[in-house]
Amino acid sequence: MIELRGITKAWPGGAGVQALDLSVPEGECCALIGPSGCGKTTTLRLVNRLVEPDAGSIRITGQDALAQDPVQLRRGIGYVIQEGGLFPHRRVGANVAVVPALLGWDAARTRARVEEVLALVGLDPAQYRDRWPHQLSGGERQRVGVARALAADPPVLLLDEPFGAVDPLRRAQLQQEVLALLKRLRKTVLLVTHDVQEAVLLGDSLALMRAGRLVQHAAPAEMLARPADGFVADFLGADRALTRLGLFRISDVPREAASVPGEALPEATTLRDALSAMLERGVTALPVAEGGSLTLEAVLASR
């Protein structure tokens, strides 16, 4: 897990981070959100000590991060940035092998691991290992960036706007894949994003910052339902109620036993999509493929 206690970092002439307490339980993903300049990226970079705090303590998987050698510390933390930050003079395989090489793994073990993580992020090793970064699309570069961060199997990952440079059509798919991967590998993740939808999708919790301070830290459904103040509500957007419905599925709410006419929706459909279908069809109840029907009242009651 990641634990920040009383972390303070002052920048000359700008809002740094002030007395920040934040903890991310093991295996969970915390999404740091907030307007630009709020200190979210600084917070992320404090964790792997690319930024040194003025005060406070940082514990990672129980160990005092400030007591360790920063270079050794970073080798044990996966780091993914926008565009991947791939080394343009090294092939994909060599990029993924950077941290194993730093850790002194032998060639056979490194090679096997490179193939393994490339496959994990959905890239055929045989096809991609020997390509140059400039031969990849934005999405492929990002996948390699994730593979590189996973190479030495670190328990903690830091993701800084990891999908910012991926075109919107591919972004949704990549987000879903990465989400599934991180859950499967049970990584503890700190994610910085400016995109509320992305934060809600990937985060087990949202941490909203403003001017270097943590304003609210809560599960997405909780924050969307009960924003701490007007600033949080504004930041989450006027459509926050709709965003929140996207977190629930038909299977999460009570249904009527009786069926209604019309094309049935599977119960894995989100309430957001179900509400949209009701609006589109001009009805207050929808048949569910697995049996019964979903009413508008049930959707409204989920608030």
Partner 1 sequence: MRWTWRNLDSIGAALGEHVLLVGAALLLAAAVALPLGVLAARRPVLRAAAMGGSAVLYSVPTLALFALLVPLLGLGFRAALLALASYAMPVLLRAVVTGLEGVAPAVRDAADGMGLTPRQKLWQVELPLALPSMLAGLRVAVATLVSAATVAAYIGGGGLGVLILTGLDQGHTEKILVGATLVCALALAADTALRRMQRA
Using the rule CB under 8 A, which residue among 14, 25, 26, 72 binds partner 1?
A: 72
Is 99 near partner 1 (CB under 8 A)? yes
Candidates 9-17, 82-90, 183-191, 285-293: pick the segment binding partner 1 (CB under 8 A). Answer: 82-90
Using the rule CB under 8 A, which residue among 88, 168, 261, 282 binds partner 1?
A: 88
Is 102 near partner 1 (CB under 8 A)? yes
Question: Shortest Cβ distance from residue 106 to partner 1 (Å)?
Answer: 19
Interacting residues of 156 by C-beta distance below 8 A, sequence separation 6+? 2, 47, 60, 61, 76, 77, 78, 187, 188, 189, 190
**Main-chain phi, psi angles of 81, to 5 degrees:** -120, 170
Candidates 9-17, 71-79, 111-119, 190-198: pick the segment binding partner 1 (CB under 8 A). Answer: 71-79
Site for partner 1 in 281-300 (CB under 8 A): none
The pair of three-digit structure tokens given for residue 224, joined into one six-digit string = 């969307």
**Main-chain phi, psi angles of 21, to 5 degrees:** -115, 125
Rounded CA gap, 162 and 27, in Å?
19
Is 71 near partner 1 (CB under 8 A)? yes
Q: Which region, left, alpha or beta, applies to residue 86 given φ > 0 means left and ψ of -120 to 50 means alpha?
A: beta
- Contact flags string 156-175 toward partner 1, x per CB under 8 A: --x-----------------
The pair of three-digit structure tokens given for residue 206, joined into one six-digit string = 């949202």
Question: Shortest Cβ distance from residue 186 to partner 1 (Å)?
Answer: 22
β-pairing, 14-24 vs 2-11, is: antiparallel
Using the rule CB under 8 A, which residue among 39, 53, 84, 139 binds partner 1?
A: 84
DSSP 93: H
Is 121 near partner 1 (CB under 8 A)? no
- Interface residues with partner 1 (CB under 8 A)? 48, 50, 71-77, 79, 81-89, 98-99, 102, 148, 158
